[in-house]
């Protein structure tokens, strides 16, 4: 496995672990603040809802854009969202937090979905002149390993305190940003992607 792909796979794993932890911890945060299970469910819904809309309207644009730049921008935005969330959660106690948590979940979900669309396109660039089977296999192992690790890690961190999962997410995002900055992901600005209309984008998203 070459150095460039190692940067990509570790960065991708860090990003995915951060996202998985957020997905698990956000409803638990809502419950710990004294809200109902239904309200916790709405926060999870807000996180997942952007998936369909973003894939329909943004996927064609991402295909023609600089993948490294998109991945970096999304990582920076997500870590900013986490830091603001931690700050407000720790300093402000006298507001209806559910009205703040739902928009945070929705925003985090938007930039998570953009990353999920961009990563396979970035992987396609890295596959050029490489052993595709081996690389895809390692990418799938990364996914399964993170999905197994995230619940255990999230539970262990929550047992220490509510803020620990968010602190780990912040550290993981900074690791991912550092690795992405050192990643060589060449974008051909002269390449043309076949234009898609809205109906074609909806069909691909489904």
The secondary structure of residue 194, as a DSSP letter, is P
Q: Tens digits of per-residue pLDDT, 147-157?
A: 899 999 988 99
> In Å, how far are 53, 88, 116, 170 from 110, measured between CA atoms?
9, 21, 10, 18
> In Å, how far are 32, 64, 126, 164, 165 from 153, measured between CA atoms?
18, 36, 30, 10, 8
d(CA 68, CA 163): 30
**Residue 32 CB coordination number (10 Å):** 12
Higher pLDDT, 133 or 100: 100
Cβ atoms 44, 189 nearer than 8 A: no
Q: What is the pTM of this model?
A: 0.83
Angle between helices 98-126 and 132-160 (to 10 degrees): 160
Q: Tens digits of per-residue pLDDT, 35-92?
A: 999 999 999 999 998 887 777 777 777 777 888 899 999 999 999 999 999 998 888 7
Q: Tens digits of per-residue pLDDT, 24-47?
A: 999 999 998 889 999 999 999 999
């Amino acid at each position: 496995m070459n150095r460039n792909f190692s940067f990509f796979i570790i960065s991708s794993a860090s990003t995915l672990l951060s996202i998985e932890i957020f997905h698990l911890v956000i409803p638990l945060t809502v419950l710990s603040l004294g809200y109902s299970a239904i309200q916790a469910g709405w926060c999870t819904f807000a996180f997942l809802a952007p998936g369909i809309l973003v894939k329909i309207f943004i996927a064609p644009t991402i295909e023609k854009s600089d993948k490294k730049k998109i991945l970096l921008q999304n990582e920076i935005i997500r870590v900013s969202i986490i830091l603001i969330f931690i700050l407000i959660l720790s300093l402000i106690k006298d507001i209806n937090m559910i009205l703040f948590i739902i928009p945070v979940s929705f925003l985090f979900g938007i930039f998570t979905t953009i990353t999920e669309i961009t990563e396979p396109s970035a992987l396609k660039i890295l596959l050029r002149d490489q052993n595709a089977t081996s690389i895809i296999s390692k990418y799938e192992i990364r996914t399964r390993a993170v999905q197994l690790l995230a619940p255990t890690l999230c539970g262990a961190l929550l047992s220490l305190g509510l803020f620990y999962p968010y602190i780990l997410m912040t550290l993981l995002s900074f690791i991912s940003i550092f690795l992405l900055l050192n990643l060589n992901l060449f974008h051909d600005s002269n390449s043309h992607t076949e234009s898609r209309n809205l109906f074609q984008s909806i069909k691909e998203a489904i």
